[in-house]
Amino acid sequence: MEMRQLLWRLGDRFVDDPKPAWFDHAGDLVVVRGEVVWETPDVTDGAVYHELPAGTYPVYVGTNASPGDDWNPDTFRYDVRAVVIPLAEPGRIAEADWDVEDYGGGFQFVEDYAVLWDGQAMRAPSLTGAASSFFEDARDAIAARGPHFRRDNWATVVLDEETGANAFVFPVSGESVNGYEILDEDENVLCLVLTTYE
């Protein structure tokens, strides 16, 4: 099985309507502490950490277009509906048990943008003083590049130069976030699927 086929199957299984219309490779997430979080800083109450082995992992995003208001074209935007982080080859993920529980949308609230980052990035020494505004700066950079008519309307920020720990900032339309871990028979994570939830 190819990665693109796997992504579409994951989208059909785990993403609520509207389903992603596209999947793109957004880049690689550097995991240093073994903790991954999907949230809006200062909005999400009590983040859920996903435990992944330290390493560098590809990040794929499923996007769809929100038509918005016919009278106001600026309300049109592309939104990220799903983030997929595979830790194994597609065939192995496809053969695993996908009957997994989520952590339930409705309490992990997000607002317009969500951040995918590692625990090390969250605690990086660089997040002090002016540098702590990375989230606001990333949102401004996305807006400056024209988020409404670009499918790849996200930002990647390196927050710890020593380790390479980074963060992705994605525009989202859901009110909360959700997550699923696909495991092997030994409870090792094969794939992480993070979604937005209306």
pLDDT at position 183? 96
Among 18, 17, 198, residue whose Cα is nearest residue 109: 198
pLDDT-derived band of residue 2, with 50, 70 and 90 as boundaries?
very high
Would you say residue 76 has pLDDT above 90? no
Burial of 101 (0-12, 13-18, 19+ CB in 10 A): exposed
Would you say residue 72 has pLDDT above 80? no
Distance (Å, whole) CA 108 – CA 123: 20
Place of tokens 């090792």: 188
Q: Is the pTM of this model over 0.75?
A: yes
Q: Does residue 198 contact residue 112 with C-beta atoms inside 8 Å?
A: no
pLDDT-derived band of residue 73, with 50, 70 and 90 as boundaries?
low
Percent of the chain with pLDDT over 90: 52
